[in-house]
Structure 1
Amino acid sequence: QIWEDILGFENCEFYIKRWPQLVGMQFEDVLISFPDAVPCGIKMASYGGKIILNPDDCYVLQEGDEVIVIAEDDDTYTPSPLPKVKEAVYIDIVRHERNSQKILLCGMRRDIDDMIVVLDAFLAPGSELWMFNDVPEIDRERKLIEGGLDFSRLENITLVHRDGNAVIRRHLESLPLESFDSILILADESVEDSAIQADSRSLATLLLIRDIQV
């Protein structure tokens, strides 16, 4: 449909025309000189009429060059003076320092090492990431290392390991749930055989946490 619109005789079409008033202008300025057309290339006079689509912004229009545009008709467009840029008023923006956060991560996924790297880049220094699942801590660290996580490169977060089952209430009650800024519940791939089971387990964890926090 796009090719039909551009190359057909209905709707907008390609037009090539010489505009002496644009000679000496960079193509980036030519782009904003036509309110009713879209410049998309140059037919270069100095190279025997070679057509260049999407030339560099810094290309300077030469004598005899023609501008290729997409427009509704050949008499519906004309270049206008460059818009004037108003002087900007600079405002000093006060950037508030990010506060450290305490995040609880329930569950274990094969890509959890990538999640940790993203969180480390996003969170403020001094943040804590509590990992809560039923994978023994030794096996958990081994899986993270095998997944490519380099503990020595974590700059903003400290990992805190806690063992437990996220669908057992007393295990959840052993955690300081009220102290966390955010709680992330992951589909625990280590214990589930299907997506339905994983979703059911995640929902059970969510309901238990909400009930404990009330």
Structure 2
Amino acid sequence: MKSPAVSYKRHRFPQQIISNAVWLYFRFPLSLRLVEEMLLERGVVVSYETIRRWGRKFGPAYAKLLRRRRPSRRDVWHLDEVVISIAGKKHWLWRAVDQDGYVLDEIVQSRRNTKSAKRLLVRLLKKAGMPPTRIITDKLRSYGAAKREVMPAVEHRSHKGLNNRAENSHLPLRKRERTMQGFRSPGSLQRFISIFSALRNLFVPPSHKRSALSTHIHRIRAIAHWKAVTGATA
């Protein structure tokens, strides 16, 4: 039997329990204590602090192994930024999604200016390996200035009404922010969203596959892929 890509050595709990706890915490708007209670109902006695450590240790490894969407030259990038208060200080979460709502990248930054927008675009180009057919943003001028430096030939549409896809992509994180009662540091937020968005990308079907049957099939395949990545089927 093929061994999982993630090592569970020196952990007394089996990989099925660890991966299930991490899945519950990052996939659903649950607190660590609620995940602890759900596992207890199944006969698994584990503290919420242990679940937190599992998420911190295994979450990034899982996210790295999850299936990624192949970029296309026909892609449309929707860019948006949202303010998040951390320890009483404003930070900005910059996010890019494609035409299906798939999260391409997101980065926490302390400024809302051209330099920050340029950093996001450079990261996106490096990850995708190719520019999109166009980008859509709100009226923030920093996007236009950054786009002219990084990808001057790409079409840019700046209109708040066209950017609902990017704006709506913030809503799931907002729900988690309330459940978690905020984030402790920019680093903890960056770590969390990298795992959180990787699971959303895997489990949430694209907008053109929203019938009941196609959604059901999509989630079955997603669960199978998750178990293969985490070794939960071993």
TM-score (norm 2): 0.25
Give the number of the structure with larger relative contact order, counting CA–CA contacts within 8 Å between residues 6 or more apart. 2
TM-score (norm 1): 0.26
Higher CA-based Rg: 1
Structure with the larger helix share: 2
Structure with the larger strand share: 1
